[in-house]
């Protein structure tokens, strides 16, 4: 029987998840479909009831439902609990279990570009304090990194530092982040600054960047943001967000099927569909 997977969110716009997942299923020889369901917050309860009746096998959850979905689940795993957000639901034997693959998805993309593949004790500056920053900070915490977080709205960075106070983390103002930039091993942009169509913007000035710092941006449209382009020109190692996107999707598939999809094939399809 054809397995049913999908995505709920609002607005879904031009989500690349359906093409990425269906390419993976085809490559795996898996008889499955992946449908995108644009569901507003007001429709969430009804939509969940319909999905339960229809018997979906698993689904991804994106903005704005990552927190609200928790009320409809039988259980959530440790990562989802720590982030207070779910991006993957496994539906098996009538039980709905919430997971979050964003943190592991991100770290799987970052570790290969870090020397010794270790972040223990490394100084990492995270710009931004939204949902993506939570996933990145949780992931960095699992790797025992030393974290500074900085955001346009400073109070939100302070709230995040408080939420993750069991980690080595501090909130700092953006001007301090810029003036101490030379002390960091990794710089990560988790804001939407620089995303298509407003591609000329940068979340932080790079004047004090040292050449050994890895510069990572969660955005992958454009494929290289203005931040990454400048860092590359300065001779720094750069990492865009496509790896995180592919890995979080691949990890969802692993939870649903117990099988590892071909990440290279998934990435190729996402790149083909970028604007």
Instruction: Tell me the catalytic residues.
Output: 66
Rounded CA separation 132/150 (Å): 13
Q: At its nearest, how many Å lie between ligand NAP and the CB of residue 70? A: 17
Q: At its nearest, how many Å lie between ligand NAP and the CB of residue 2? A: 27
Length of the chain: 275
The reply to whether 241 sits near ligand NAP by the rule CB under 6 A is yes
Member of 193, 239, 251, 253 binding ligand NAP (CB under 6 A): 193
Q: Which two tokens stand for residue 231?
A: 């860092």
Would you say the C-alpha torsion 37, 101, 266, 254 has a positive or negative sign? negative
Number of alpha carbons in the 13 Å side-chain half-sphere of residue 126: 32
SS3 6: strand
Residue with tokens 């117990």: 258
C-beta separation of 194 from 227 below 8 A: yes
User: Cα Rg for the chain, rounded, in angstroms?
Assistant: 19
Member of 216, 248, 252, 257 binding ligand NAP (CB under 6 A): 248
Member of 114, 137, 219, 238 binding ligand NAP (CB under 6 A): 219
**Residue 129 or residue 172: which is nearer to ligand NAP going by CB?**
129
The reply to whether 7 sits near ligand NAP by the rule CB under 6 A is no
C-beta separation of 243 from 214 below 8 A: no
Q: Which two tokens stand for residue 98?
A: 């919430």
Total of residues contacting ligand NAP (CB under 6 A): 24
List of residues 6+ apart from 245 with CB closer than 8 A: 16, 20, 105, 220, 270
**Residue 25 or residue 245: which is nearer to ligand NAP going by CB?**
245
**Residue 58 or residue 194: which is nearer to ligand NAP going by CB?**
194
The reply to whether 72 sits near ligand NAP by the rule CB under 6 A is no
Q: At its nearest, how many Å lie between ligand NAP and the CB of residue 98? A: 17
The reply to whether 83 sits near ligand NAP by the rule CB under 6 A is no
Member of 5, 25, 164, 245 binding ligand NAP (CB under 6 A): 245
Residues 46-65 that bind ligand NAP (CB under 6 A): 63
Residues 163-192 that bind ligand NAP (CB under 6 A): 190-192
Member of 8, 139, 244, 251 binding ligand NAP (CB under 6 A): 244
Residues 131-150 that bind ligand NAP (CB under 6 A): 131-133
**Residue 51 or residue 238: which is nearer to ligand NAP going by CB?**
238
C-beta separation of 269 from 20 below 8 A: yes
Member of 47, 130, 229, 273 binding ligand NAP (CB under 6 A): 130
Phi, psi at residue 81, to the nearest 5°? -65, -45
Q: At its nearest, how many Å lie between ligand NAP and the CB of residue 19? A: 15
Q: Which two tokens stand for residue 185?
A: 């091993």
Measure Cα distances from 204 to 110, 150, 212, 213, 221 in Å: 20, 10, 17, 14, 18
Angle between helical axes of 131-142 and 154-163 (0-180°, round to 10): 40
C-beta nearest to ligand NAP: residue: 130
Residues found near ligand NAP in the complex (CB under 6 A): 63, 128-133, 151-153, 156, 190-193, 195, 203, 218-220, 241, 244-245, 248
């Amino acid at each position: 029987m054809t397995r049913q997977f999908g995505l709920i969110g609002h607005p879904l716009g031009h989500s690349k998840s359906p093409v990425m997942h269906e390419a993976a299923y085809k490559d795996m020889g898996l008889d499955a479909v992946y449908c995108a369901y644009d569901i507003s917050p007001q429709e969430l309860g009804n939509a969940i009831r319909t999905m339960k009746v229809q018997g979906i096998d698993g689904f991804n959850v994106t903005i704005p439902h990552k927190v609200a979905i928790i009320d409809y689940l039988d259980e959530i795993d440790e990562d989802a609990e720590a982030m207070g957000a779910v991006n993957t639901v496994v539906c098996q034997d009538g039980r709905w279990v919430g997971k979050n693959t964003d943190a592991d998805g991100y770290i799987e993309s970052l570790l290969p570009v870090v020397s010794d593949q270790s972040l223990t004790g490394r100084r990492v500056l995270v710009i931004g304090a939204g949902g993506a920053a939570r996933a990145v900070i949780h992931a960095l915490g699992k790797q025992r990194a030393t974290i500074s977080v900085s955001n346009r709205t400073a109070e939100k960075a302070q709230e995040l530092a408080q939420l993750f106070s069991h980690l080595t983390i501090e909130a700092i103002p953006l001007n301090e982040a810029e003036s101490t930039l030379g002390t960091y091993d990794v710089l990560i942009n988790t804001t939407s600054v620089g995303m298509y169509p407003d591609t000329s913007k940068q979340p932080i000035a790079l004047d004090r960047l040292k050449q050994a710092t890895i510069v990572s941006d969660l955005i992958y449209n454009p494929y290289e943001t203005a931040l990454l382009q400048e860092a590359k020109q300065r001779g720094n190692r750069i990492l865009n967000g496509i790896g995180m996107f592919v890995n979080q999707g691949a990890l969802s598939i692993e939870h649903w099927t117990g099988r590892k999809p071909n990440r290279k094939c998934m990435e190729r399809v996402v790149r083909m569909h970028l604007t």
